[in-house]
Structure 1
Amino acid sequence: MPLPARPLPKFLVQRYKGWKATDFEENHSWYKRLADEGQRPRAMVVSCCDSRVHVTSIFGADMGEFFIHRNIASLIPPYNPDGDLHGTSAAIEYAVRVLRVSHLLVLGHSNCGGVDACDGMCRGEAAELEEPTSFVGRWLDLLRGEHAAVAGMNDKPARLQALEKAAVLVSLRNVLTFPYVSDGVDSGDLALHGLWNDIGTGALEHYDAYLDKFLHV
């Protein structure tokens, strides 16, 4: 049986042709150089799958500058070479050991659907996520342990924002369990950054480890 893949919808074809005729043609030599010389990104960004989070736009990044990995809620699992498939762990290994990035950014954001789902799951309001077959639920188990610290907050927006920022810190703690990440941090070759973006206002906050809180950039 053939795969049920269909041609691109017309609006995507038109957008592609517009890009090819303008941006690509105007920067053809740069694209050719990237193709011939390979990528040498300065930083890896672990971001959410959310379509509203546009990493390259936020930082004005050029093509070839960022190695970007997206998943639900920008979560990083702890180092666990158990033979299972780990897309996020594989991306981190490649970025640090092969591409030798100098910076690893974890970018959380406001109104995160994944964090909202974790809150609902922990409050007993999302039974479908408790199913063993729920990929989303089992992924969000990475954040479950942080919910107790915010569970008493009755203001849901404030509770979710606190959990969104907690997710960034979970990922930073977990990525340090990767031996080549901790070695890079200890040697000064790799810097870790925890960030939170407010989609509605455009604000960006970074985690200050000495003050143990997020501050405006």
Structure 2
Amino acid sequence: MDEFERLLSGYRRFRDQDWSQQRARWAELAEGQQPKTMVIACSDSRVDPTRIFDSAPGTLFVVRNIANLVPPFETTKGHHGVSAALEFAVTQLNVAEVVVLGHGACGGVAAALNHAFEGEPPGRGGFISDWVSLLDDVRDRIVSECGHGPDAAHALEHECVKVSLANLRTFPFVPERERAGTLKLRGAYFAIAEGVLHVLDEDSGTFAPANA
């Protein structure tokens, strides 16, 4: 069985089980969506927000990219995929929460930490290098403090979440809604090996395990 056939097998299970058992829910979703939470997560195949949070269809508006990064607010012409998704979720869907979900063993963070693709052209890592350069400032501080080992990678994975939260607040419509009390930002981190979700306390800057 090739990989696409595996996908089709999964689709058939979905039709036989999930879809058939929740026909009313899917009919409702066909009329529109009203998710209350946006999750900005990594594209890593091991970190699926809908599985981690055991969420029903239509409840999470999810954006995934390398290292769960949010770029700062920019008004230059271009294709701003994350910014467009954020704008849609906050200003059109009126989500009440935006969660930045980092994770352990993140390849994008490792690339940022080690400058793995620095100087490479697009197609050989150049796109990755440009994207994770969003972490360069905090990366340099962590390298000076921790070097390049596992402790540094872990620290940068945590800081990556904080960088994205800070960049979220550069979009004018985000702090406006925070001040009005209609939007909350959250930081979280999923430890893959342990299966434990850690939640960021922004006041202290520390992550602590969520209650199981």
Give your verdict on TM over 0.5.
yes
Structure 2 match to 1:130: 119
Q: Is the 8 A contact 1:75 1:167 kept in 2?
A: yes
Structure 1 match to 2:178: 185
Aligned counterparts of 1:190 and 1:154: Cα–Cα separation in 2: 37
- Secondary structure of residue in 2 paired with 1:201: coil
1:23-172 to structure 2, matched below 5 A, reads 23-36=18-31, 38-121=32-115, 126=116, 128-131=117-120, 133=122, 134-151=126-143, 152-154=145-147, 156-172=149-165
- C-alpha RMSD of matched pairs (Å): 1.5
Matching residue's letter, 1:25: S
Q: Is the 8 A contact 2:113 2:148 kept in 1?
A: no
CA gap of 1:114–1:155, structure 2 versus 1, over 3 A, is closer
* Identical pairs, percent: 37
Matching residue's letter, 1:168: V
Aligned counterparts of 1:103 and 1:168: Cα–Cα separation in 2: 15
**Aligned with 2:198 (options 183, 192, 205):** 205
Q: Deviations over 1:126-171 (max 9, x none)?
A: 3x43335311110011011111221131471111010001100000
Structure 1's unaligned 5+ residue stretches are 1-6
Aligned counterparts of 2:6 and 2:187: Cα–Cα separation in 1: 36
- Secondary structure of residue in 2 paired with 1:85: coil
Aligned counterparts of 1:209 and 1:13: Cα–Cα separation in 2: 43
Matching residue's letter, 2:71: P
Tell me the number of residue pairs that the alignment of Structure 1 and Structure 2 aligns: 205
CA gap of 1:9–1:215, structure 2 versus 1, over 3 A, is closer
Aligned counterparts of 1:214 and 1:11: Cα–Cα separation in 2: 37
Distance apart, 1:10 and its partner CA: 2.0
Q: Deviations over 1:86-136 (max 9, x none)?
A: 100000000000000000000000000000011110xxxx3x433353111
Q: Deviations over 1:12-70 (max 9, x none)?
A: 2222112112211111111011102x000010000000000021121121100000000
Aligned counterparts of 2:183 and 2:203: Cα–Cα separation in 1: 18
Aligned counterparts of 1:216 and 1:10: Cα–Cα separation in 2: 38
- Secondary structure of residue in 2 paired with 1:145: helix
Aligned counterparts of 1:93 and 1:141: Cα–Cα separation in 2: 23
Matching residue's letter, 1:65: T
